[in-house]
């Protein structure tokens, strides 16, 4: 069992997303530590990219600021290694990024990227712009590196759910709403029906993301899935508090985890 799968064996999982290097790496370091202490079961780290097509304005802005501050993929990889070796971060870590970041990495491309990611301590990878039909370009390399390539299932996946679910590793990222990431006042998609269908094909855990911002929303989504993922709401906290964001993020993660703890 991978470390990611194991993270779902202790009840419903809460998964925060954090853009690496926003507003700087020291703040990210403190925020990641606070998230772990707050009860995060797994943490997604976004590698800043110039064209994050799946992201809404909040995370897009975070990407721009991080890149303007000099963040590179190599710096993020070194940062993860530091988290593992010096900062006491033990929860599973997943990179969320885009195909070009991985494919065009250095001289060795995807293979070199995944080797460095594995050595740094990364457990999984989400490529937001790679559809299931094109995952074979990365999947064998991920398996060789021992990194779970995490697939996404959207409300429009319909008949594709079976093939996505049956080949899944780590966990399945269920996209709650069409469009880009961002805080939403409500989620109208029938997530329960989607997760029931997923569970008829696989025992891979499924967590819901896109739009979740409150403990009530997290609980509602976790009731019909295996966990909740939150990104934009956390990045907004960091935008509001800047370098002093860690305590607020830690308290937020604790509130979200407490909301789903007894399910």
Q: What is the C-alpha separation between 40 and 30, in angstroms, rounded?
A: 14
The pair phi, psi for residue 79, each rounded to 5°, is -60, -45
Which one-letter DSSP state was computed for residue 87? S
More confident residue, 177 or 29: 29
Q: What is the pTM for the complete model shown?
A: 0.94
Please say if the pLDDT value at position 184 is more than 50: no
Residue ranges covered by each domain of the chain: 3-150+182-188+213-260
Residue 223 pLDDT level (bands cut at 50, 70, 90): very high
Give the pLDDT confidence of 141-178 residue by residue, as tens digits.
999 999 999 999 988 888 899 999 999 999 999 998 64
Q: What is the C-alpha separation between 227 and 172, in angstroms, rounded?
A: 10
Residue 7 is encoded by which pair of tokens?
A: 């993270």
For residues 112-126, average pLDDT? 98
HEC string of 220-246 equals HHHHCCCEEEECHHHHHHHHHHHHHCH
Cβ atoms 255, 36 nearer than 8 A = no
Sign (positive/negative) of CA torsion 210, 198, 217, 124? negative
Please say if the pLDDT value at position 54 is more than 90: no
Q: Please state which CATH class domain 3-150+182-188+213-260 belongs to.
A: alpha beta
Please say if the pLDDT value at position 193 is more than 80: yes
What is the rounded average pLDDT for all residues in the chain?
93
């Amino acid at each position: 069992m991978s470390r990611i799968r194991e993270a779902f064996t202790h009840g419903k999982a809460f998964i925060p997303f954090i853009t690496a290097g926003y507003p700087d790496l020291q703040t990210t370091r403190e925020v990641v530590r606070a998230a772990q202490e707050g009860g995060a079961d797994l943490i997604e780290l976004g590698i800043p990219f110039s064209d994050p097509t799946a992201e809404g304005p909040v995370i897009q802005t975070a990407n721009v600021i991080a890149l303007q501050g000099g963040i590179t993929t190599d710096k993020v990889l070194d940062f993860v290694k530091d988290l593992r070796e010096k900062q006491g971060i033990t929860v599973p870590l997943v990179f969320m990024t885009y195909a070009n970041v991985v494919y065009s990495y250095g001289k060795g491309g995807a293979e070199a990227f995944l080797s460095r990611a594995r050595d740094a301590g990364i457990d999984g990878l989400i490529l937001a712009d790679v559809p299931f039909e094109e995952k074979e370009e990365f999947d064998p390399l991920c398996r060789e590196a021992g990194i779970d390539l995490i697939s996404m299932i959207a409300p429009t996946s319909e008949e594709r759910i079976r093939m996505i679910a049956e080949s899944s590793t780590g966990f399945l990222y269920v996209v709650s709403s069409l469009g880009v990431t961002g805080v939403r006042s409500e989620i109208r998609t029938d997530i329960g029906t989607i997760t029931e269908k997923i569970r008829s094909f696989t025992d891979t855990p499924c967590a819901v993301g896109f739009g979740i911002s409150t403990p009530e929303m997290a609980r509602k989504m976790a009731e019909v899935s295996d966990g909740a993922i939150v990104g934009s709401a956390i990045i907004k906290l960091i935008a509001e508090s800047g370098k002093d964001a860690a305590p607020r993020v830690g308290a937020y993660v604790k509130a979200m985890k407490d909301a789903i703890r007894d399910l």
